[in-house]
Amino acid sequence: MLTKLRFKLELLFVYFKRNWLYFLISLLIGSSLIIFRQNIISLYKKVNHPTQKIGIEGLFTSNNFPPEISQKISYGLTINTGSNKFDISPLVKSLDIQNDQTQYFFELNPDFKWHSKQSLKSSDFNYKIAGLNISFPDSNHLIIQTEKPFAPIFSTLSEPLIRKNFDGLGKYKVDSFQYQDGYLKNLFLKSENNNLLYRFYQNETDLLNAFKIGEVDQIEISSVPEDLNNWPKLKITKNIKTDERYLALFINTEKFNSKQFRQALAYATPKTKDLNERALSPISPTSWAYNPEVKEYAFNETRAKELIKGNEIESINLSYNDRRLIDLADSIKKSWEEILGIKVNAQISNQIDIQNYDIILAYGSILNDPDQYLFWHSTQTKTNITKINHPPIDKLLEEGRQTFDQQERKKIYLEFQKILLEESPAIFLKYPILYTISRN
């Protein structure tokens, strides 16, 4: 027994003696892999990271593609730091504000270059914004002069700067792009650690089909088809989009100038029972300026009938341009006809004449800044589609633009929302729900 054991040990010793160098190299390599495994994994990902394929619904060009993409490609002079608060972007080294906050002296960060390797110059900031005058003392400095104090200026200057062929300054570089019939078809972005391929589709049906056949691995849609619930290895996330847009009924106040009539419509309009989904005003609930204590106009048949007395009309045209709103439009039509005795002509139209309409069911935009001047001030004839002309609202919107103290601004916009909801030029319904579907 001992003789056999000695023989095996001697044989092992001879084998090790002849191959000690290989054993040593293997030990060093194995130890290095264990000690530096995270560094090795990171290096591998940098060289060999996969491409995430994302489907987007909509027709876009280089001038109007989604903020979620443009903010990856480049920066503006400012950035949104969260909760609608803004600060200077990485492109800016310093900012000096003078003359009662009407002059802004920006010094650029000299380390930044365009993705095309060209140096960033102050004259590259060719913002065309009404009321702002931009001058360029030298290549590293720019001065922005406002006609009068303008509180939303930081929000306005957050628009990412993107040149021809998607030349940007951000973390992601556009590696390639493709157009079809004048609109973006593909947009390929690369960063140090990630690749993103965006593919664009005209409607939600095309988007969903692209996901099913594997053209993209992630999409956002308004409802989840029954057959997808049975697919393996899918992640489905429900998102209530409270910071992008809201769904509302916009009332032409020139045609329907009775506040009581508009309030009757509001009380007779069915609304979602999900408080998280319910929209109360045009300002996002995530904003510091949001007022949760405005009139809610919860569905109230009795109150609607009280307010309609003396304000009866025979018929209303209800217009909308999104087929996904058909069921909701029919529900509103039925409710108004049964409760208020109004004949409602609900019709879908590709082009709605916003200068001559009765009521529009549509989405309104939520801005990064609570400033609502464009949408509700009486002088804004192109964007104030409800045509509301209410001096107290005008005064508050003017003050809100010229007040920089956030607490004072908040008081202004809390009061603005209170009065706007009392006047009821729009019936705020809900925020859109989107389901993010991705392959695990």
166 within 8 A of 177, measured Cβ to Cβ? yes
Identity of the residue numbered 272:
T
Identity of the residue numbered 350:
N
Question: For position 83, what pLDDT does the model report?
Answer: 66
What phi and psi values does residue 333 have, to the nearest 5 degrees?
A: -55, -50
The residue with tokens 């001065």 is 143
Lowest mean pLDDT among 9-18, 161-170, 262-271, 399-408: 9-18
Question: For position 120, what pLDDT does the model report?
Answer: 95
* Helix (H) / strand (E) containing 312: none
Three-state DSSP class for residue 305: helix
Residues 186-209: pLDDT tens digits? 999 999 989 999 999 999 999 999
- Report the interhelical angle of 2-35 vs 37-48 (nearest 10°): 50
Residues in contact with 277: Cβ distance below 8 Å, sequence separation at least 6, in sequence order: 240, 430, 431, 433
Three-state DSSP class for residue 235: strand
Q: How are beta strands 173-180 and 195-201 bridged, if at all? A: unpaired
Give the other-Cβ count within 10 Å of 192's Cβ.
10
Q: Which residues on neighbouring strands pair with residue 364, listed in sequence order?
A: 246
* pLDDT at residue 11 tops 80: no
DSSP secondary structure string, 181-198?
TTEEEEEEEE-SS-EEEE
DSSP secondary structure string, 106-160?
EEE-TT-B-TTSPBP-GGG-----TTEEEEEEETTEEEEEESS--TTHHHHTTS-
Residues 213-224: pLDDT tens digits? 999 999 999 999
Residues 21-78: pLDDT tens digits? 666 677 777 777 777 666 555 555 455 568 999 999 999 998 888 999 999 999 999 9
Terminal Cα-to-Cα distance of the chain (whole angstroms): 58
* pLDDT at residue 117 tops 60: yes
Closest listed residue to residue 342, CA positions, set 325, 358, 357: 358
The mean per-residue pLDDT over the stretch 407-425 comes to 98
- Report the interhelical angle of 259-267 vs 301-308 (nearest 10°): 160
Question: For position 36, what pLDDT does the model report?
Answer: 66
Interior/surface letters 340-375, b for 16+ CB within 10 angstroms, e for the rest:
bebebebeeeeebebeebbbbbbbeebbbbbbbbeb
* pLDDT at residue 161 tops 70: yes
User: How far is residue 162's CA from residue 184's CA, in Å, rounded to a whole number?
Assistant: 16
Residues 222-242: pLDDT tens digits? 999 988 888 888 999 999 999
pTM for this prediction = 0.84
Helices (H) and strands (E) in the chain, counts: 11, 18
* pLDDT band at 429; cut points 50, 70, 90: very high
Lowest mean pLDDT among 123-132, 155-164, 183-192: 123-132
What phi and psi values does residue 87 have, to the nearest 5 degrees?
A: -145, 170
* pLDDT band at 270; cut points 50, 70, 90: very high
Question: For position 8, what pLDDT does the model report?
Answer: 58
More confident of the two residues 432 and 127: 432
* Strand positions, DSSP E, 8-99: 51-57, 78-82, 85-88, 92-98
Residues 358-399: pLDDT tens digits? 999 999 999 989 999 999 999 999 999 999 999 999 999 999
The tokens of 64 are what? 């109007």
What phi and psi values does residue 221 have, to the nearest 5 degrees?
A: -135, 160
* pLDDT at residue 316 tops 60: yes
Sign of the CA dihedral running 71, 77, 81, 82:
negative
User: How far is residue 83's CA from residue 364's CA, in Å, rounded to a whole number?
Assistant: 19
* Helix (H) / strand (E) containing 30: helix 2-35
DSSP secondary structure string, 107-122?
EE-TT-B-TTSPBP-G
The tokens of 51 are what? 């491409």
* pLDDT at residue 267 tops 60: yes
The tokens of 227 are what? 């057959």
**What is the chain's mean pLDDT, rounded?**
91
Closest listed residue to residue 282, CA positions, set 359, 216, 344, 375: 375
The mean per-residue pLDDT over the stretch 172-187 comes to 95
The residue with tokens 């003696």 is 17
Question: For position 128, what pLDDT does the model report?
Answer: 85
Question: For position 290, what pLDDT does the model report?
Answer: 96
145 within 8 A of 180, measured Cβ to Cβ? no
Question: For position 25, what pLDDT does the model report?
Answer: 75
The tokens of 6 are what? 């000695």
